[in-house]
Amino acid sequence: MSKLLLIDDEEDVRYSLQRIFDAADVELAAAASGEEGLKVIPKFKPDLVLMDVRMTGMSGLETLRKIRATDPKLPVILMTAYGTTQTAIEAMKLGAYDYLLKPFDIPKLKEVIANAFKAARDMKQVVSYEPLLESEDYELGVIGRSGPMQQVFKLVGQVSATDATALITGESGTGKELVARAIYHHSDRAQQPFLAVNCAAIPEQLLESELFGHEKGAFTGATVQRIGKFEQCNHGTIFLDEIGDMTPLTQTKILRVLQSGTFERVGGNTPMQVNVRVIAATNKPLEAAVAAKQFREDLFYRLNVVRIHLPPLRERRSDIPLLVNYFIGKLAKEQQHQPKAVMPHVIKALEKYHWPGNVRELENIVRRAHVMAKGDAILLNDLPLEVAGQTDAPAFSGVAGETAGADAAALARQLFQWARRDPKLKVIPAVERELVIQALKETADNQVHAAKLLGITRATLRKRIEKFGIRRELNVK
């Protein structure tokens, strides 16, 4: 559950905001002044602060300054009434996360708060990249032991120790954002903010202003000044996700920031100086975009100082069992549940699939299977057809051995769960009958083959057919 601290000297505002968050998955604390808020922070340890700008006693701006000095990574959203926007803008320069205008537009309020919680999580949940992550408590980690992933860990380690720009490439779902956060958490800037900007999610004409801010009147609709992410994130790390989608003008500005740390707000002519570490990512082949003159070559080289390429999952299949285990452990912890076992042939099927959506797809499928599985083991049936269908192993192998033993045990547990729903049911005869019917179906009523399949003699099979009253056409060869 995320924790929110509300600082406002007006009781009405505290009351109405409390009501908004009552139903949501948010733990809320309130303080009636800046002074009180500063006292509550070390005790309550909020993930986010929502604070009024104009308060009696210590002002919002002053409180913000104090928070930034002790908790630079704690996002603060300012609330401002008409007429105090200028103060809110000043606050953004001091590194406030965002500001909201009173009276509140509730959906907008919820959106801004959800984004800020995500930013807080990105900064807080340390991503470890130790290649041999054996941790039992399932901290967030970049998992993998395959050769290509070891190469990735080596690079992450090297680039973390520097301030160099890093470019992370790889297909969708290969873990680019996770790696970006691992770099941040292991860098000297780990105590400073980390802000992620998804360049593809922001309309082209707004991206420049999002990154660099704008002056009042810079374009139609720019009614107030705005502070961009680079200014807000001074001394911190910016993650430019989907960097392939930028206009030439924005590319030029990014290049300049990387070269000299300077930029101007849109519509402004005062050069601003910042110290920001840039990590960029893309799932598009940037070289091709350079060749097609859609992406500046000089910017490409500037970003490409350290290149970390994440191979698709199908090229590191040996990591699949490890990843599955990790996701199961995480799920079990989340749901406070015993981790479910995964049958060896299920792992085999997962290893065979081609994973167009990479690790994200694997995580989703494991999550779904964990929900679908009725017993305490995940079976082939719990996988989507296109994944399960890739295997040639039968759902339950008849070969004696470890695999068959584990499979049979899982099956038995399932059967008992099913049987518990019907107290009159006698498990062995019920299952035996079905097994005989199924064996006859599968062998086209060939009793010799059916008996073999069942592991009993033909005479015994005959007795069972009689006992259970199974009448099928005999087709003895």
Ligand X SMILES: Nc1ncnc2c1ncn2[C@@H]1O[C@H](COP(=O)(O)OP(=O)(O)OP(=O)(O)O)[C@@H](O)[C@H]1O
> What are the residues binding ligand X (CB under 6 A)?
142-144, 170, 172-178, 283, 323, 359-360, 363
DSSP-assigned letters across all residues of 416-441: HHHHHT-TT--HHHHHHHHHHHHHHH
Total residues in contact with Mg ion, by rule CB under 5 A: 1
Q: Closer to ligand X by CB, 142 or 238: give it.
A: 142
Q: Are 229 and 211 in contact (CB under 8 A)?
A: yes
Q: What is the 3-state secondary structure (H, E, C) of 459-477?
A: HHHHHHHHHCCCCCCCCCC
Instruction: Tell me how far apart the alpha carbons of residues 204 and 442 are, in angstroms, rounded to a whole number.
Output: 60
Task: Select the binding partner of residue 174 from Mg ion, ligand X, none (C-beta < 5 to 8 A, by kind).
Answer: ligand X
Q: What's the min distance (Å) between Cβ of 289 and Mg ion?
A: 18
Q: Closer to ligand X by CB, 156 or 227: give it.
A: 156
Q: Closest by alpha carbon to 124, among 270, 206, 2?
A: 2
Q: Does 122 bind Mg ion (CB under 5 A)?
A: no
Q: Closest by alpha carbon to 5, among 74, 80, 106?
A: 74
Q: What's the min distance (Å) between Cβ of 303 and ligand X?
A: 16
Q: Which stretch binds Mg ion (CB under 5 A): 9-17, 172-180, 391-399, 410-418?
A: 172-180
Task: Select the binding partner of residue 175 from ligand X, Mg ion, none (C-beta < 5 to 8 A, by kind).
Answer: ligand X
Q: Are 170 and 310 in contact (CB under 8 A)?
A: yes
Residue from 177, 210, 319, 382 that binds Mg ion (CB under 5 A)?
177
Q: Closer to ligand X by CB, 99 or 184: give it.
A: 184
Task: Select the binding partner of residue 95 from Mg ion, ligand X, none (C-beta < 5 to 8 A, by kind).
Answer: none
Give residue for tokens 């922001």. Answer: 202
Burial 28-59 (b: 16+ CB within 10 A, else e): bbbbbbbbbbbebbeebebbbbbbbbbbeebe
Quick one: tokens of 239? 């993650």
Q: Which stretch binds Mg ion (CB under 5 A): 12-20, 175-183, 212-220, 468-476?
A: 175-183
For residue 220, give Cα distances in angstroms to 213, 268, 403.
14, 15, 68
Task: Select the binding partner of residue 98 from ligand X, Mg ion, none (C-beta < 5 to 8 A, by kind).
Answer: none
Beta strands in 144-227 (DSSP E): 166-170, 194-198
Element (H, E) at 309: strand 306-310
Q: What's the min distance (Å) between Cβ of 201 and Mg ion?
A: 11
Burial class (CB in 10 A: 0-12, 13-18, 19+), 222: middle
Quick one: tokens of 78? 């300012």
Element (H, E) at 98: strand 98-101
Q: What's the min distance (Å) between Cβ of 198 and ligand X?
A: 8
Q: Closer to Mg ion by CB, 52 or 177: give it.
A: 177
CA 463 to chain centre: 57
Which residue type sits at 433? R
Q: Closer to ligand X by CB, 63 or 358: give it.
A: 358
Q: Closer to Mg ion by CB, 92 or 180: give it.
A: 180
Q: What's the min distance (Å) between Cβ of 338 and ligand X?
A: 21
Give residue for tokens 């040996």. Answer: 318
In the complex, residue closest to ligand X by CB? 175
Q: Closer to ligand X by CB, 79 or 281: give it.
A: 281
CA 35 to chain centre: 36
Q: What's the min distance (Å) between Cβ of 323 and ligand X?
A: 6
Q: Closer to Mg ion by CB, 181 or 345: give it.
A: 181
Q: Closer to Mg ion by CB, 77 or 180: give it.
A: 180
Task: Select the binding partner of residue 110 from Mg ion, ligand X, none (C-beta < 5 to 8 A, by kind).
Answer: none
Task: Select the binding partner of residue 49 from Mg ion, ligand X, none (C-beta < 5 to 8 A, by kind).
Answer: none
Q: Closer to ligand X by CB, 231 or 241: give it.
A: 241
Give residue for tokens 């986010």. Answer: 48
In the complex, residue closest to Mg ion by CB? 177
Q: What's the min distance (Å) between Cβ of 321 and ligand X?
A: 13
Q: In 10 A of CB 158, how many CB atoms? A: 14
Q: Which stretch binds Mg ion (CB under 5 A): 173-181, 289-297, 323-331, 426-434?
A: 173-181
Q: Are 288 and 302 in contact (CB under 8 A)?
A: no
**Which residues are near Mg ion by CB under 5 A?**
177
